[in-house]
């Protein structure tokens, strides 16, 4: 058989692409015509009138046709060629990949500086706060939950409960007793860890789906307690005017204080300083989480977590106390959730049960799964993509030009979130970084080439 025949056609085949595009257009018209083309409105006499929206339909169909044509004519052939050349080419682009962690870290450290120097203090707030801090909170939550779900393999759908415990611990203890953030941060972590153990005990025997359901219920219980225990938590109204964080009492962020940062550094008052400070604070907390996790992975407890995820029975017969192993995973994961929670309360200045709904847990689990169940870098990428993506959606005002002035991209957040998840799972079924990094190596560095030991050979 000749090799030529096997070769996929690499060059663009415009006729086939055009045929395909027209077909896709017809289908799109069939689907979206009735769905979007007609809209019933009540008029002044309370009658339903049908309104036509052919403009939008035409735009959508045009997007489908052009998109399909481009995919068919250019993208698919390009993918095929790239796959065919994948072998040697991939080693060239690996400078970025190899140094991804260093580059990423440098970027994170410099991010506020870059933004401020580009946009000035006032304009930087949105980028530091909505993007930087918001994403990093989820990176931290993802890394915390990663211990439970990614490493120990315990599907916890109620992680937000520990986030809530941390947030309310800070909110209540700081507003009632005036304790400082630096005292309450570890305290919230400890309280959350305690709740982690309390949840851990009853679910020790459960696995998989059953564990997921019970943890989900636990998350809801905590939220309902927060709503109904009005005397303490102020119910659904929440707790407001939670004190800001200060820098160990030396520097504060309240304009009225004599120690206000602007007065000390001789800068004009601006709320940007507090945001930048918070950015570095959450960055430090997240990196602390990463550091602890990476260290633990090399210790007996971390190895036990990963072994537990793979085979609980085998673990026990190797002398591992699976009860303690699970409880420490729950406790540590919860502790980091608690840290993130107290940070969240300090940043918002306001907490209410609204912030701790099941959807939050789902988003955090999604981040861990998309990241590749256990990979720190993967979780960070997933958090940036999912949270950054939904934040960017707010910015896309040009969509209003296309879909009319009442179009509010925010309403489509969950839809797009879901679509993105499906797409990522199809494109990378094992998450962004599906390959688990081994923690043990032979001492004599035998020259076993990396490609040989990849999964799939053998």
Partner 1 sequence: MTAVIETQDMPVGHQGPPLLSVRGVKTYYGNIIALKGVDVDVHPGEIVTLIGANGAGKSTLMMTIFGSPQARTGTVTFDGRDITRMPTHEIARLRIAQSPEGRRIFPRMTVLENLQMGASLDNLRYFDEDVERMFTLFPRLKERAAQRGGTLSGGEQQMLAIARALMARPRLLMLDEPSLGLAPLIVKQIFDAIRDLNRNEGLTVFLVEQNAFHALKLAHRGYVMVNGLVTMSGTGKELLANPEVRAAYLEGGHH
Query: In the complex, which residues of this chain contact partner 1 (CB under 8 A)?
Result: 300, 303-304, 306-307, 309-311, 313-322, 436, 438-443, 448, 453, 455-458
Smallest distance, Å, CB 303 to partner 1? 6
Compute the distance between CA of residue 278 and CA of residue 134 in angstroms, rounded to an integer.
11
Nearer to partner 1, 122 or 324 (CB): 324
Nearer to partner 1, 28 or 304 (CB): 304
Smallest distance, Å, CB 310 to partner 1? 4
Smallest distance, Å, CB 381 to partner 1? 20
Nearer to partner 1, 11 or 438 (CB): 438
Smallest distance, Å, CB 300 to partner 1? 6
Question: Which DSSP state fits 11?
Answer: S
Nearer to partner 1, 88 or 450 (CB): 450
First CA to last CA distance, the chain: 28
Smallest distance, Å, CB 378 to partner 1? 14
Question: Which DSSP state fits 409?
Answer: G
**350 contacts 173 by C-beta, under 8 angstroms:** no
Nearer to partner 1, 148 or 315 (CB): 315
Nearer to partner 1, 268 or 458 (CB): 458
Smallest distance, Å, CB 58 to partner 1? 50
Nearer to partner 1, 238 or 302 (CB): 302
Compute the distance between CA of residue 221 and CA of residue 157 in angstroms, rounded to an integer.
12
Sign of CA dihedral 22, 24, 25, 26: positive
Compute the distance between CA of residue 370 and CA of residue 400 in angstroms, rounded to an integer.
30
| Residue whose structure tokens are 């009225």 | 256
Smallest distance, Å, CB 449 to partner 1? 10
Nearer to partner 1, 52 or 439 (CB): 439
Smallest distance, Å, CB 307 to partner 1? 5
Nearer to partner 1, 198 or 314 (CB): 314
Q: Which residues contact 183 (CB under 8 A, 6 or more apart)?
A: none
**175 contacts 198 by C-beta, under 8 angstroms:** no
Compute the distance between CA of residue 271 and CA of residue 413 in angstroms, rounded to an integer.
28
Smallest distance, Å, CB 107 to partner 1? 30
Compute the distance between CA of residue 367 and CA of residue 378 in angstroms, rounded to an integer.
9
Of 330, 59, 27, which Cα lies nearest the Cα of 193?
330
Kind and range of the H or E element at 127?
Answer: none
Bridge partners of residue 252, in order along the sequence: 260
3-state SS of 292-303? HHHHHHCCHHHH
Nearer to partner 1, 173 or 308 (CB): 308
Smallest distance, Å, CB 441 to partner 1? 7
Nearer to partner 1, 271 or 439 (CB): 439
Nearer to partner 1, 233 or 328 (CB): 328
Smallest distance, Å, CB 205 to partner 1? 13
Smallest distance, Å, CB 317 to partner 1? 5
CA angle 302, 303, 306 (to 5 degrees): 90
């Amino acid at each position: 058989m000749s090799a030529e025949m096997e070769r996929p056609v690499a060059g663009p085949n415009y006729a086939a692409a055009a045929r395909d595009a027209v077909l896709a257009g017809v289908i799109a018209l069939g689907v979206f015509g009735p769905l979007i083309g007609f809209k019933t409105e009540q008029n002044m006499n309370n009658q339903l009138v049908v309104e036509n929206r052919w403009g939008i339909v035409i735009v959508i169909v045009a997007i489908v046709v052009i998109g399909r044509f481009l995919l068919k004519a250019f993208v698919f052939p390009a993918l095929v060629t790239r796959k065919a050349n994948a072998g040697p080419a991939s080693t060239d682009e690996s400078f970025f990949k190899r140094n991804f962690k260093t580059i990423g870290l440098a970027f994170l450290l410099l991010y506020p500086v870059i933004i401020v120097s580009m946009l000035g203090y006032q304009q930087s707030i949105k980028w530091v706060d909505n993007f930087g801090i918001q994403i990093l909170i989820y990176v931290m939550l993802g890394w915390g939950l990663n211990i439970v779900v990614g490493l120990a393999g315990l599907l916890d759908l109620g992680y937000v409960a520990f986030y809530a415990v941390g947030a309310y611990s800070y909110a209540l203890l700081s507003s009632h007793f005036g304790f400082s953030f630096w005292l309450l941060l570890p305290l919230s972590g400890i309280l959350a860890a305690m709740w982690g153990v309390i949840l851990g005990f009853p679910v020790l025997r459960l696995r998989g789906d059953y564990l997921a359901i019970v943890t989900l219920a636990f998350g809801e219980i905590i939220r309902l307690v927060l709503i109904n225990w009005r005397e303490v938590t102020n119910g659904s109204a929440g707790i407001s005017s939670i004190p800001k964080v200060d820098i160990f009492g030396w520097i504060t962020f309240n304009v009225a204080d004599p120690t206000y940062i602007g007065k000390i550094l001789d800068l004009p008052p601006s709320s940007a300083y507090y945001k930048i400070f918070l950015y570095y604070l959450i960055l430090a907390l997240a990196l602390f989480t990463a550091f602890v996790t990476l260290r633990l992975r090399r210790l007996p407890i971390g190895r036990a977590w990963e072994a537990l995820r793979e085979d609980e029975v085998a673990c026990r017969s190797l002398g591992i106390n699976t009860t303690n192993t699970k409880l420490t995973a729950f406790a540590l994961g919860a502790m980091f959730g608690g840290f993130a929670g107290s940070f969240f309360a300090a940043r918002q200045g306001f907490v209410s049960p609204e912030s701790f709904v099941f959807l939050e847990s789902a988003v955090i689990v999604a981040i861990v799964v998309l990241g590749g169940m256990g990979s720190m870098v993967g979780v960070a990428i997933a958090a940036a993509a999912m949270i950054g993506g939904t934040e960017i959606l707010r910015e896309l005002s040009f969509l209003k030009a296309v879909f009319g002035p009442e179009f509010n991209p925010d309403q489509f957040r969950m839809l797009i979130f879901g679509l993105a998840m499906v797409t990522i799972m199809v494109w990378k079924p094992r998450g962004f970084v599906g390959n688990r990094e081994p923690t043990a190596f032979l001492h004599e560095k035998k020259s076993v080439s990396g490609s040989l030991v990849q999964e799939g050979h053998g």
